[in-house]
Structure 1
Amino acid sequence: MNRPRLIVFGRYPRPGKTKTRLIPALGPAGAASLQRRLTEGIIDDARRCAGLTGAQIIFCHDGGDRQKIQRWLDDGNIAPVPQVTGGLGHRMLTAINSAFDQGASRVVLVGTDIPGLTSEIMCEALDRLKEHDLVLGPSTDGGYWLIGMSSPVNLFDGIVWSGPDVLADTLALAGRKRMKPCLLAPLRDLDTPDDLDREVGRQSPPSPYLSVIIPTLNEDRHIARTIRAAASPDAQIIVSDGGSTDRTVAIARAHGARIVTGQRGRAGQQNRGAAAAGGEVLLFLHADTRMPLHYEDHIFDTLMDRRTVLGAFRFATDLHTPAMRTIAFFTNLRAGRLKLPYGDQGLFMRRADFNRFGGFPETAIAEDLYLVRKMARNGRIALAPAAAVTSGRRWQRLGPVRTTLVNTIIAVGCLAGVPPERLAPLYRLPAQSIKP
């Protein structure tokens, strides 16, 4: 296979494990999301370059597996290859030698931390290798972000990768091996908060990765616990209140939530909360539902699949009776098999998708069901492996059998086209003060 090879050398994004020096500024999931966007941009540029040059693209990754990489990048034309263990130099040398062993005519390896890297630069590097043995893309910190070779040569042993002389030492080693180098224009890495300020032009605190939107109406018994369970460096909490007359708003504000107020109605309240949100991802959470530990990691991993337009957590309640365990089992079966999670499972989605599909329809009831069905027609509905725990108060008040029957009648009626206004009394009359 006498084709040039483009190797994108990167990581599978994982909160807390990726772009760790940016965590103080962006939060663990926010830093991982930035890594994801940078990598996707480099991959897109590599695709454009490959279309012009006929190069084969290899994503040489640290972390993740073939299935995760493919569901993320969603392209059968990009070959995912895990990096070998060992130091950075050994890993790059192995990737480059492997490309030449497979018949590549020229090899260019690029990192994923360079916002200024473009398809034109990649193509230029491949073109320069027709006349040079070595091409390097210098970074302003003394390293390099691109290395290209016309034949396999070890320029990696003895390099102190964390030092300021990586480029100079590599050029000196190339000189001793009588290689003819070519330097591209220098670019900057994006590794630290100072780099973020300079490259992104951030003038104010960065947006959070996640906005948690909680509609409330007289929820002073539950709201504090719900907010505490959702608190995260990656999340802003927005309480969208529908006119509470108890201490709900005061308690939420004391726990650091942003307050949005307006007319009562869960759909409208959630839409108002979404309009005030700054997060890349929205999580809609009932006021009596508690998130599991590290819930933001589950959200991040679920949405790494580009096909997924909406996710939810598994269902559980704080009642541990045999009847409730049976209800939870069949609820999760319905959510998984029929792709019909409900709002008390914590619905989450990218803000762009939420806006694209018009948000929650402002119906009397079942706004979650209507939104899920609309989004399911345009993408994948996924369940996170952990459970959100909802208060069992409604099942206690109405009884598990009657509550399940009412919920089923409402869902079937909505799916059959019965106007929500006709079904609303079934939900509201037995438990008027339970939900907004």
Structure 2
Amino acid sequence: MRLMARMSHVIVIIPALNAAPSLPDTFASLEPAIACGLVSRWVLADGGSGDATVKLARARGFDVVKSLPGRGVQLAAGAARAIEGAGEGDWLLFLHADTRLEPGWAKAVKAFMAAHAGGEVAGYFQFALDDESAPARRLERFVAWRCAAFGLPYGDQGLLIPAQLYERLGGYRLMRLFEDVDIVRRIGRRRLKPVSARAITSAARFRSEGYLRRSAANLLLLARYFLGADPEKLARAYGRRKA
């Protein structure tokens, strides 16, 4: 009698810091994948929130990990917890706290995992903003071009990666900025593939700072990073912009 192969599951990891306003929508977008059995666990890595972030996460059944602040640090801490219970063939899905996946994403992820089972491939979602303005559409088109031309998705597009590949790569480095660029460069363009679903991110900061101004500032920081600037100094510069 032939034994059935074990179904691969997804473990979701979300880094969060004072993210209570956006988390309910993010959580709601994930719940159908739990109901259909695709997502087996979810982990929230909290960087010291002073709001209701942890309470909301625990109420939804999240495994909450306490961490020092810094997205790379939190992602690494959340992944370490997730991998403790990961089975052979399981995947990790890293998602920002202000990003929600569009309806139907679970079907797209199942198809992606089936197409790349046992392979050395990671996936990212199509970038979208919760803004219907022309500047938002232009930015979405630019991000699509950047991904196609350079294989450079950012963290707000999610990262779907086999747990074993994540471990072989050494995981996220303890960086407060550009941890997403660092890991996709180690994955490599040939091993990065798009998932046929959108990750919809809050456009609040773009609306607040201005699309052109924020995009230009982000590109300047990225250029400095590629030229060898210290990510810690860049993180401080990024933090001053948000203050």
TM-score by length of 1: 0.50
* Conserved? CA contact 2:13–2:75, under 8 Å: yes
User: Does the 8 A contact of 1:312 with 1:348 survive in 2?
Assistant: yes
For residue 361 of structure 1, report the CA deviation from its aligned partner. 1.3
Return the letter of the residue paired with 1:409.
L
Q: Identify which of 52, 72, 77 aligns with 1:272.
A: 77
Report the equivalent of 2:3: 190
1:223 aligned partner, one-letter code: L
Normalized per residue, the structure richer in helix is: 2
Contact 2:73 2:176 in 1 (8 A): no
Aligned to 1:222: 22
Q: SS where residue 51 of structure 2 aligns?
A: coil
Match of 2:141 among 329, 344, 349: 329
* Structure 1 residues 27-426: aligned runs within 5 Å: 188-190=1-3, 209-231=9-31, 232=33, 233-235=37-39, 236-277=41-82, 278-279=85-86, 280-303=90-113, 304-305=115-116, 308-376=120-188, 379-426=190-237
Structure 1 residue 229 displacement after superposition: 0.5
Unaligned runs of 5+ in 2: none
Q: CA deviation at 1:387?
A: 1.0
For residues 415 and 310 of structure 1, do their structure 2 counterparts lie closer, same or farther at Cα, with a shift above 3 Å needed?
Answer: farther
- Residue deviations 1:172-226 (CA, integer Å, cap 9, x gap): xxxxxxxxxxxxxxxx2335xxxx9xxx8xxxxxx97001100000011011210
Deviation of the 1:255 alpha carbon: 1.5
After TM superposition, the score normalised by the length of structure 2 is 0.88
Q: Deviations over 1:52-92 (max 9, x none)?
A: xxxxxxxxxxxxxxxxxxxxxxxxxxxxxxxxxxxxxxxxx
CA distance in 2, matches of 1:287, 1:364: 16
The sequence identity of aligned pairs, in percent, is: 33
Structure 2 Cα separation of the partners of residues 384 and 410 of structure 1: 27
Return the alpha-carbon distance in structure 1 between the equivalents of residues 221 and 119 of structure 2: 29
Q: Following TM superposition, by how much is the alpha carbon of 1:396 offset from its aligned partner in structure 2, in angstroms?
A: 1.5
Alignment deviations for residues 16-68 of structure 1 (CA, whole Å, 9 cap, x no partner): xxxxxxxxxxxxxxxxxxxxxxxxxxxxxxxxxxxxxxxxxxxxxxxxxxxxx
Larger Rg: 1
SS in 2 for 1:319: coil
| CA–CA distance in structure 2, aligned partners of residues 237 and 225 of structure 1 | 15
Moved more, 273-282 or 346-355: 273-282
Q: Quick one: distance in 2 between partners of 1:208 and 1:242?
A: 29
Equivalent pair of 2:129/2:202 in contact (CA under 8 Å) = yes
Residues 366 and 420, structure 1, Cα contact 8 Å, conserved in 2: yes
> In the aligned structure 1, how far is the partner of 2:16 from the partner of 2:8?
22
Gaps of at least 5 residues in structure 1 are: 1-187, 201-206
Deviations 1:122-167 (A, max 9, x none): xxxxxxxxxxxxxxxxxxxxxxxxxxxxxxxxxxxxxxxxxxxxxx
Query: 1:391, 1:308 → 2: CA distance?
Result: 31
Post-superposition offset of 1:385: 2.2
- How many residue pairs were aligned? 231
SS at match of 2:242: coil
Distance 2:8 2:121 in 1: 19
- Classify the secondary structure of the residue corresponding to 1:320: coil
For 2:241, what is the secondary structure of its paired residue? coil
- The structural deviation recorded for 1:307 is 5.2
Amino acid at match of 1:272: A
SS state at 1:429 partner:
helix
**Offset from partner CA, 1:299-351 (integer Å, 9 cap, x none):** 23334236552210000010111011101100111012210000000111001
Amino acid aligned to 1:226 = T
